Structure 1
Amino acid sequence: MILLTFNIVNIEAPAQKGSEISYEDRLNITIDNTKAILRILDLHDIKASFFIEISIAGKLKNMIKAISSQGHEIAFYNKDSQADFIEETKKETEYFLEKQVRGIRQKDLIISPEILKMAGFNYISRIDHAHVLFPLKRLKTTTKITEEDGLSIIPESISPYSQLPYNDFVFQFLPVKFYQNMVFETLKNDDFVLIYLDSWQFTDLKKHCFSVPFYRRLNAGKKMEDKLDALLSWINEKELATSRVKDYIF
């Protein structure tokens, strides 16, 4: 099973010298990038899970409604929000969506499963930092779903052969053919592959003057759209099963 997921986050990179990019500009870029992702998913009739960064969720209500109305899952991505704000945002989102938000993703600030269970979450998706030294660090990392304090804990997926994780950096960096082979081989060994991408990767960095490292500019913007389109075409061609995270877990 392929679990395709997207982190909907504002691009954090500073503006290039002599340029200024406001918070509203960043928010509008995030909306445009998300629309591009939705368009590609719709083209291939594939459903995914969208992890909305909690601090911007209240400003993306129309976007969240559009994502949900197209049959995709709405979940949260916690970058640096505290438990009270997470619970408040969850209730507000569930109210206007008229649907339960079951999942939350964490990386830097880790809220305990016990607290998240009390807030009404059913699963936690854990991800790590994406950088060039990740392979050796992950050699002993489990890829099995476990349970903690009544919540399902979903780890990052890692290729058992290349030891590469299925994170945003790897997808952007690797050739599509190599990535497809990695997914195919992993599915022979594991029950699922969880793939995650960040919405900021779809930013047109030629149009928007962000100061982004050269290795992060590679294949960004339209090239990321093309790579995602190629991956989804391949998934359908090979008739590989996909699922929203909440459907797979429950």
Structure 2
Amino acid sequence: MVLLSFDIEEFDMPFEYGKEISFEDQINISVEGCHTILDLLAKHGFKATFFSTATFAINAPDVIQRIKVEGHELASHTYYHSKFENKDLLASRLKLEELSGLPVKGFRMPRMAPVSEQEIEDAGYIYNSSINPTFLPGRYNNLHIPRTAFKQGKVIQLPASVTPIFRIPLFWLSFHNFPLWYYKHIFNKAYRKDGYVNIYFHPWEFFDLNDKERFGFPRYVSRNSGVKMTERLDNLMAWMKKNNYPTHTISEFIATIA
């Protein structure tokens, strides 16, 4: 099965490149992208998991309502995207449940940063999808970690999908930079080997990020953003549907392996 997920958050990434962006713009850009994502999911009849910060959820009630009404899963992306304390694990889960009326079973740390597994368990999460089991210069080296789902304590760890041999990640940067035919090729390789793929994107990718003066992004971040991203994801979803790749929320998948 295909596990589509989206990290929905304050769009604070320009800060990493020395640029300023107002909180209003951070929220509005992500809200706009969320509605594009939800429209695509509705068009193709797919279900997905949305990892939301509590801060974004508080400021985007219409998005949270659509996630709930349209049958998607809501999971935690902690409380704030740019700062973190262990207490935010429980606080974000409780706030998201309060705002949505949905159970929040899963967690993903912003930027796939390390997080205490004991704290995850203590906060009441069933699964954690905060590992990219590859080497990304300047971010992490997780080549020693299993590629596929495994249990740690009481929590199921669900790494993002990478290819079986060279651990090429299938995450959002690959989707933007690889030719679409090649991305589909490695997607299929991982699916055939593992029986599922776990891939993730962000709502701000559906905004044109090529204004270097405004955002400061290098070309590998801004390539195929905005309308091109919408077209590419629409193409991928149509291809998935044509080839009978079933989509499920992560919680639905976890229930089959727990």
TM-score range, shorter chain: 0.7 to 0.9
Matched pairs, number = 248
What is the TM-score normalised by the length of structure 1? 0.88
The secondary structure found in structure 1 opposite 2:170 is coil
Identity %: 27
**Counterpart code for 2:10:** N
Query: Deviations 1:145-204 (Å, cap 9, x if unpaired)?
Result: 111221111112111145311111111111111111111122221121111112221112
TM superposition shift of 1:140: 4.5
User: Which structure ranks higher in relative contact order (CA pairs < 8 Å, sequence separation ≥ 6)?
Assistant: 1
Q: Does residue 194 of structure 1 match 2:198?
A: yes
Q: Mind listing any 5+ residue stretches in structure 2 that lack a counterpart?
A: none
What TM-score do the two structures reach when normalised by structure 2?
0.85
Match of 1:92 in 2: 95
- 1:54/1:82 CA distance change after superposition, 3 Å: farther
Distance in 2 (alpha carbons) for counterparts of 1:148 and 1:169: 28
How well do the aligned residues superpose, as a CA RMSD in angstroms? 2.7
- Which one of 221, 242, 253 corresponds to residue 248 of structure 1? 253
- Call closer, same or farther: CA 1:154–1:130 in 2, change over 3 Å: closer
What residue is the counterpart of 2:75 in the other structure? 75
Q: Equivalent residue of 1:36, what SS?
A: helix
Spell out the pairing of 1:219-234 with structure 2 (5 A cutoff). Answer: 219-234=224-239
**1:103 partnered with 2:123:** no
Q: Which aligned pairs between 1:1-250 and structure 2 lie closer than 5 A?
A: 1-11=1-11, 12-14=13-15, 21-78=21-78, 79=81, 80-106=83-109, 107=111, 109-128=113-132, 133=137, 137=141, 139-205=143-209, 209-250=214-255
Deviation at 1:232, TM superposition (A): 0.3
Alpha-carbon offset, residue 246 of structure 1: 0.5
- Stretch moving more, 104-113 or 57-66: 104-113
Q: 1:117 to 1:138 in 2, by over 3 A?
A: closer
**1:138, 1:173 → 2: CA distance?**
22
Structure 1: 5+ residue runs without aligned partners? none
Counterpart code for 2:217: V
Q: Distance in 1 between matches of 2:17 and 2:152?
A: 44
Give, in whole Å, the separation in 1 of the partners of 2:15 and 2:157: 33
